[in-house]
């Protein structure tokens, strides 16, 4: 009987300790779900620039990127000649130069499906490497920038993240309505559970 009572009390006090932490997680989760990170960072106060420039090296040649009214254009620097997109062979070469991976195959992606592992600008080269972790490298079509590196480890993380934020399609929206509703219900559940602890039978 004493053992039963001890186990029951142990479970009761352990539950209240865990419930308080769950309550804190829930409250912070509600804040995240109802507040867009872009607004928290103050991005809404920035004035858009008319024109932006970036000079970078692409396989030994300088390139200037111009962003005007949201559109990007690329020319050689300083001559200003229009440059061509990278070839598949150049994408393989860049991957070998900028990573420790061994590229074996490349394809050009012009469109993405919902939940795709790459979520950046298009078009982009997808470079497959000979790794056990099925690593893909995404190389900028015009810039040669390494946009993303995706592996099986990242894919597992991304899947679990989609379960965590309840965005099963795009997997990056922490302000979706489903998460907002469930976070409030979780708050009610946590508070009611803690309340029951203090209610005398």
Q: Model confidence over 51-101: pLDDT tens digits?
A: 999 999 999 999 999 998 888 999 999 999 999 999 999 999 999 999 999
Angle (CA) 92 157 163, round 5°: 135
Q: Model confidence over 102-160: pLDDT tens digits?
A: 999 999 999 988 889 999 999 999 999 999 899 999 999 999 999 999 999 999 999 99
Q: What DSSP character marks residue 82?
A: B
- What is the per-residue pLDDT for 14? 79
Q: Model confidence over 23-53: pLDDT tens digits?
A: 888 888 889 889 888 888 898 898 888 899 9
CB 105, CB 130: distance < 8 Å: no
Confidence of residue 1 (pLDDT cuts 50, 70, 90): low
User: Pick from 190, 189, 164: which is nearest to 33 by CA?
Assistant: 164
- What is the per-residue pLDDT for 201? 58
- On average, the pLDDT of the chain sits at 89
- What is the per-residue pLDDT for 200? 61
Residues in a beta bridge with 146:
139
| Residues near 154 by beta carbon (within 8 Å), at least 6 away in sequence | 117
CB 36, CB 175: distance < 8 Å: yes
pTM value is: 0.82
């Amino acid at each position: 009987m004493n053992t039963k009572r001890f186990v029951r009390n142990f479970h009761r006090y352990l539950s209240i300790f865990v419930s308080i932490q769950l309550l804190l997680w829930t409250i912070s989760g509600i804040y995240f779900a109802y507040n867009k990170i872009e607004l928290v960072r103050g991005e809404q106060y920035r004035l858009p620039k008319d024109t932006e420039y970036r000079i970078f090296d692409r396989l030994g040649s300088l390139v200037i990127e111009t962003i005007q009214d949201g559109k990007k254009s690329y020319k050689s620097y300083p001559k200003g000649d229009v440059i061509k997109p990278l070839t598949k062979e150049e994408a393989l070469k860049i991957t070998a130069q900028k990573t420790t991976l061994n590229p074996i195959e490349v394809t050009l992606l012009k469109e993405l499906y919902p939940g795709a592992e790459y979520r950046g600008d298009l078009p982009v080269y997808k470079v497959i490497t000979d790794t056990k972790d099925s690593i893909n490298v995404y190389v900028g079509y015009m810039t040669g920038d390494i946009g993303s590196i995706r592996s099986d480890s990242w894919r597992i993380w991304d899947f679990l993240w989609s379960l965590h934020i309840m965005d099963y399609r795009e997997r990056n929206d922490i302000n979706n309505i489903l998460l907002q509703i469930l976070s409030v219900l979780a708050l009610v559940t946590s508070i009611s559970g803690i309340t029951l602890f203090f209610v005398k039978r």
